[in-house]
Amino acid sequence: MKKLLLPTLFALVLSGCGSSTSISMDVEFTTSGNDDRAELVLATKHIAERRLEQLGSELSDFDVTYGEDATAVIAISGSNPDAMEELLAQMTEPFAVEIRLMAEVHEEGDIAVEGLGSFRDIDIHKKDMKWVLSRAMEANPLNRGEIMIQFTEEGTEKMDALFSEHSGEDIGLFIRNQLAANFAINQDSFGGAITIPNVPSAELAQIFADDMNVGINMTFTQSQ
């Protein structure tokens, strides 16, 4: 069984500017490639547009200035100050994503999911994840999408151990302590990535990948 939850990302700061609200945030990247950073900034813009639309506002300007040592400053202007204030409250929340293992007995610190059971922490978090890809599933008339989560070298070692020691058990992908997807370990070795198929659409899969990549590879703080 698969479940999908789209995360909300970033941290922003508000400052009044005429009829719109200006937003500025300092960014730190965990990726080293310029192409990756450009793709992440574009994903950030798409996320800002979607979130503002959901809040009854719209993005009026988006600007990025790259600094040294994998940093940047992103400035955004929006049309509705109240919506931007709400956006600030949502985006300053830290992005937390992890892989958890279903537990036979609930213990302190476990996350209980109604209808499934409890999941325990196994120390596989966002620092162990590297990139998320999305694509349309092949030969699928419903245009469903799929997501592939790639891991760092250390993360891959942890996933290898997890698969070899817990074959046949269930694991869950959690975002901010909410279950996004769960699946059974049906092989003895980790294949290098986790694939989540049958996302309702390829577009939704791309939205999920954007949110995950920004959350994994970028850190936002309020500009001073």
Domains and CATH numbers, the chain: 14-94+217-222 (3.30.70), 97-212 (3.30.1360.200)
What are 52-71's pLDDT values in tens digits?
999 999 999 999 999 988 99
Structure confidence at residue 54 (pLDDT): 93
Residue in 136, 184, 127 with CA at minimum distance from that of residue 154: 127
- State phi, psi for 149 to the nearest 5 degrees: -100, 120
Mean pLDDT, rounded, of the chain: 87
The amino acid that residue 57 corresponds to is S
What are 105-160's pLDDT values in tens digits?
888 889 999 999 999 999 999 999 999 999 999 888 888 999 999 999 999 999 99
Higher pLDDT, 219 or 91: 219
pTM score, two decimals? 0.86
Structure confidence at residue 9 (pLDDT): 34
- pLDDT band at residue 92 using 50, 70 and 90 as cut-offs: confident
Residue in 40, 216, 214, 193 with CA at minimum distance from that of residue 127: 216
- Judged against a pLDDT cut of 70, whether residue 1 lies above it is answered with no
What are 32-48's pLDDT values in tens digits?
788 999 999 999 999 99
Burial 114-129 (b: 16+ CB within 10 A, else e): eeebbbeebebbbebb
- Judged against a pLDDT cut of 80, whether residue 88 lies above it is answered with no
- pLDDT band at residue 19 using 50, 70 and 90 as cut-offs: low
State how far the Cα of 124 lies from the Cα of 32, in Å rounded to an integer: 22
What are 156-183's pLDDT values in tens digits?
999 999 999 999 999 999 999 999 999 9
